[in-house]
Amino acid sequence: MMEEASALVEEMQNHEGKPTDFVSTLKSSSNVNVALKYVGPSNPSSIAPGLRKFCKIFKIGGFDYASKTIKNFTSFTRNEITHHKTSPSLRDIEDFINCYLDKLSEISKGKFSKNYFSEKMLEGNLAVLFLGASDTISSSLGWLLRLMCKYKDMQDKVYAEVIEAVGKDGKVRYEDRHRIPFTFAVLMEMQRFVSIVPLSGTRKASNDIPVR
C-alpha cells in the first residue's frame, strides 16, 4: 500500500500543479475487473457452474483468462501467508495477516470445540478485502482529492500536521494516526460526507443516543 501511495504522489508531482483528471490512475487493476466481470454474482455462470467450466475449456467470453487471474491471485495470497509465517522481519508488523495468524495460534493452544478460523478462511478474507475494497478505495481517494481542492484551508492544515509528525520525506502509517488527529478526522469526515454506498442495508443504533 505504501508503494501505491508513493506511486500516486509521484504521478501527481509529474503534473507540476496543472489541472488533471486522476480517475484513470485511481481505477482498479484490469486483472481485478476481468475476474469480477466473468465470475461475479451477476454473471449467469454463477448459477450454472457447469457453464462456467464449459466456457473456460473452450475459451469462450474470456473465462480462461479470468480463471488464470484467479489462480494467480490465490497463489499470491498463499505465498503472502507463508511469507508472514516464516519471515522474522514480517512477524512484528501489525497487519491483518499477522493478527489472524496470532488468533489461529491462540486457538490451537486452547480448547475450542468450534471455531471458524483457518488458513483457508484467511485466504478467503484476503480475497474479499482485496477485491471488495478496490473500487471503494479508489472512489474514496477520488472524493478526497476533490474535497481537498475545494477546501484549501483543510488541505493546508492536513499538510502542516503531516509535515510536523513525519517530516517532508516521511511516510505516514496507520499506527501514526494518533499523531495526526486532524488528518484522521478529515478522512473520517470525508467518508461521512460522501458515502460511497449511500443505499446500503438498513442500520439502527444498539443503544438510545441523546441528541442536543
Q: pLDDT tens across 153-211, in order? A: 999 999 999 999 888 877 787 778 889 999 989 988 888 888 766 555 566 777 887 88
The answer to whether 46 and 40 are in contact (CB under 8 A) is: yes
User: Average per-residue pLDDT in the chain?
Assistant: 76
Residue 21 backbone zone (phi > 0: left; psi -120 to 50: alpha; other: beta): beta
DSSP letter at 95 equals: S
The answer to whether 26 and 142 are in contact (CB under 8 A) is: yes
How does residue 64 score in pLDDT terms, banded at 50, 70 and 90? low
Span 51-74, mean pLDDT? 69
Is the pLDDT at 42 greater than 50? The verdict is: no
pLDDT tens string 65-90: 667 777 788 888 888 889 888 888 88
pLDDT value, residue 126: 84
- Number of H helices and E strands in the chain, helices first, is 10, 0
Q: Which of 21-30, 59-68, 129-138, 149-158 has the lowest mean pLDDT?
A: 21-30
